[in-house]
């Protein structure tokens, strides 16, 4: 067994108790610090967070016999009960998760297993079922819904199944425009592998850098290009799954009308029905052209109406993103400008990629203008695109709510933010 800190084969380390690359960490600008009480109410100075070495965990509930059995499946180097490894797999990256990571006493999985292929995943599930051990699939660890919490339920222990060793491009069919990717392949790895063949996935959630293809599927991820290429669940045409009662291979052709679509059962299931080991997805040629345009609206409500018109008329931007008044005011979405410019209203970025850009842009611009939007050229939109995946995320659960709230409840984004902050304080 290994006692390493963090995870194997990780060339992009993420902070154990925070988000992003520690090398790029910067303090929050004073202007933003000054705005926080206005947005969130009274902000107390946080207590000093626990150091990694001082975190206390209960000893593993697994017996040496359990551990030997798992070692027999995945190899000694791929089973770990090291406290650092267990803590790294103790939860996701939402604000409540990160508040948990600041505590001295924490809960964590009893061990972390790293299977290297579908058969090893299958064997781990068989062992766990026979020994009454709960299993939590773990991709990039960027969950924001508490789905990686080490919940034992009725089982006597819980293990984290880290899937990052299942990485790579399994196959690519340029004729049907489909690729099969191993589930533990991260966003950047997937794009680099496909780019070698002139293709791309074009799926960019803000967690792109660390999240995995299996995680995109299990969490029905949505990304900045989803207006153009669809949410991840609409891109999936097949999956291979290991479940506690057997294997499934679903989706043999790009489209099928034969019976209920069982793939949908697994998309968004957060790993509760089984472990996805391969994902077949639609891919497209890397676009040659890209055009940016930024817009401003007098209010978030006016901007929402503009975006609704664009969505309902399917006018064709690849990216369309609305910032609320607070995010616009501190340029929070643009990493280089945070806190430097205090803009009014609500800003929108649009990006067009691929074919027929002039026509799609003209249709979209007409709708945005009719809803009260004013174009401010390409500058801000291009800046946003460059910084999108590295911009700070102030309350990650809010960004997920953003995708799910009904339009009528989205007119007061500040209220969602405060509710989220209150939940974080309670946890």
Ligand X SMILES: Cc1cc2nc3c(=O)[nH]c(=O)nc-3n(C[C@H](O)[C@H](O)[C@H](O)COP(=O)(O)OP(=O)(O)OC[C@H]3O[C@@H](n4cnc5c(N)ncnc54)[C@H](O)[C@@H]3O)c2cc1C
Nearest of 156, 123, 150 to residue 138 by alpha carbon = 150
Question: What is the C-alpha separation between 277 and 267, in angstroms, rounded?
Answer: 13
Tell me: does residue 185 bind ligand X (CB under 6 A). Answer: no
Given the complex with ligand X, which of 14 and 371 has the nearer CB atom? Answer: 14
Nearest approach, Cβ of residue 181 and ligand X (Å): 11
Tell me: does residue 396 bind ligand X (CB under 6 A). Answer: yes
Nearest of 2, 6, 160 to residue 85 by alpha carbon = 6
Interaction pattern, residues 355-394, with ligand X; x per rule: CB under 6 A:
--------------------------------------x-
Tell me: does residue 82 bind ligand X (CB under 6 A). Answer: no
Candidates 33-41, 57-65, 221-229, 322-330 — which segment interacts with ligand X by CB under 6 A? 221-229
What lies within 8 Å, CB to CB, of 241 at 6+ separation is 247, 248, 249, 250, 266, 273, 274, 275, 276, 277
Tell me: does residue 219 bind ligand X (CB under 6 A). Answer: yes
Tell me: does residue 229 bind ligand X (CB under 6 A). Answer: no
Backbone angles phi, psi at 32, to 5 degrees: -75, -40
Question: What is the C-alpha separation between 391 and 380, in angstroms, rounded?
Answer: 14
Tell me: does residue 88 bind ligand X (CB under 6 A). Answer: no
Let me know how long the chain is: 427
- 3-state DSSP assignment of residue 112: strand
Given the complex with ligand X, which of 185 and 365 has the nearer CB atom? Answer: 185
Tell me: does residue 281 bind ligand X (CB under 6 A). Answer: no
- Cα-Cα-Cα-Cα torsion 32, 38, 43, 49, nearest 10 degrees, comes to -30
Tell me: does residue 270 bind ligand X (CB under 6 A). Answer: yes
Tell me: does residue 352 bind ligand X (CB under 6 A). Answer: no
Tell me: does residue 239 bind ligand X (CB under 6 A). Answer: no
Beta bridge partners of 178: 173, 282
Number of residues in contact with ligand X under rule CB under 6 A: 36
Q: How many CB atoms are located within 10 Å of the residue 64 CB?
A: 9
Tell me: does residue 95 bind ligand X (CB under 6 A). Answer: no
Q: Please, what sign has the CA dihedral across residues 324, 210, 232, 146? A: negative
Let me know: does 276 contact 214? Beta carbons within 8 Å. yes
Nearest approach, Cβ of residue 261 and ligand X (Å): 18
Tell me: does residue 183 bind ligand X (CB under 6 A). Answer: yes
By CB under 6 A, the residues from 99 to 158 that bind ligand X are 136-144, 147-148
Tell me: does residue 215 bind ligand X (CB under 6 A). Answer: yes
Question: What is the C-alpha separation between 76 and 87, in angstroms, rounded?
Answer: 19
Give the tokens for residue 272. Answer: 């509760």
Residues interacting with ligand X, by CB under 6 A? 19, 92-93, 136-144, 147-148, 163, 183, 205-207, 211-212, 214-216, 218-219, 221-223, 270-271, 275-276, 393, 396, 399
């Amino acid at each position: 067994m290994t006692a390493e800190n963090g995870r194997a084969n990780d060339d992009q380390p993420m902070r154990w108790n925070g988000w992003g690359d520690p090398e790029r960490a910067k303090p929050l600008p004073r202007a933003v610090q000054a705005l926080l009480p206005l947005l969130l109410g009274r902000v107390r100075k946080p207590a000093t967070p626990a150091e990694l070495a001082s975190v206390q965990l209960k000893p593993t509930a697994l017996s040496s016999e359990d551990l030997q059995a798992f070692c027999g499946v995945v190899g000694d180097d791929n089973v770990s009960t090291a406290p650092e490894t267990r803590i790294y797999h103790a939860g996701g990256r939402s604000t409540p998760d990160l508040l948990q990571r600041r505590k001295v006493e924490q809960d964590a999985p009893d061990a972390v297993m790293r299977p290297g292929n579908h058969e090893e995943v299958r064997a781990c599930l068989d062992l766990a079922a026979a020994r009454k051990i709960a299993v939590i699939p773990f991709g990039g660890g960027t969950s924001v819904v508490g789905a990686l919490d080490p919940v034992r339920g009725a089982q006597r222990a819980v293990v984290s199944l880290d899937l990052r060793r299942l990485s790579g491009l399994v196959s690519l069919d340029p004729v049907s425009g489909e690729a099969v990717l191993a589930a533990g392949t991260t966003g950047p790895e997937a794009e680099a592998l496909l780019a070698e063949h002139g293709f791309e996935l074009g799926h960019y959630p803000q967690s792109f850098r660390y999240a995995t293809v299996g995680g995109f599927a299990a969490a029905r991820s949505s990304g900045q290009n989803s207006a153009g290429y669809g949410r991840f669940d609409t891109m999936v045409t097949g999956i291979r799954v290991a479940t506690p009662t057997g294997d499934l291979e679903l989706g043999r052709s790009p489209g099928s009308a034969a019976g209920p679509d069982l793939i949908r059962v697994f998309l968004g299931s957060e790993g509760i029905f089984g472990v996805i080991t391969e994902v077949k997805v639609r891919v497209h040629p890397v676009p040659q052209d890209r055009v940016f345009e930024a817009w401003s609206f007098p209010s978030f409500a006016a901007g929402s109406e503009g975006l609704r018109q664009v969505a309902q008329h399917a006018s064709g931007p690849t990216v369309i993103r609305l910032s609320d008044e607070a995010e616009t005011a501190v340029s929070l979405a643009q990493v280089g400008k945070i806190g430097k410019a205090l803009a009014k209203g609500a800003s929108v970025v649009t990006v067009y990629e691929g074919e027929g850009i002039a026509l799609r842009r003209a249709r979209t611009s007409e709708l945005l203008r009719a809803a009260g939007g004013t174009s401010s050229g390409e500058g801000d939109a291009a800046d946003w695109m460059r910084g999108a995946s590295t911009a700070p995320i102030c309350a990650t659960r809010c960004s997920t709510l953003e995708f799910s709230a009904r339009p009528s409840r989205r007119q007061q984004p500040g209220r969602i933010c405060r509710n989220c902050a209150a939940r974080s304080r309670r946890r």
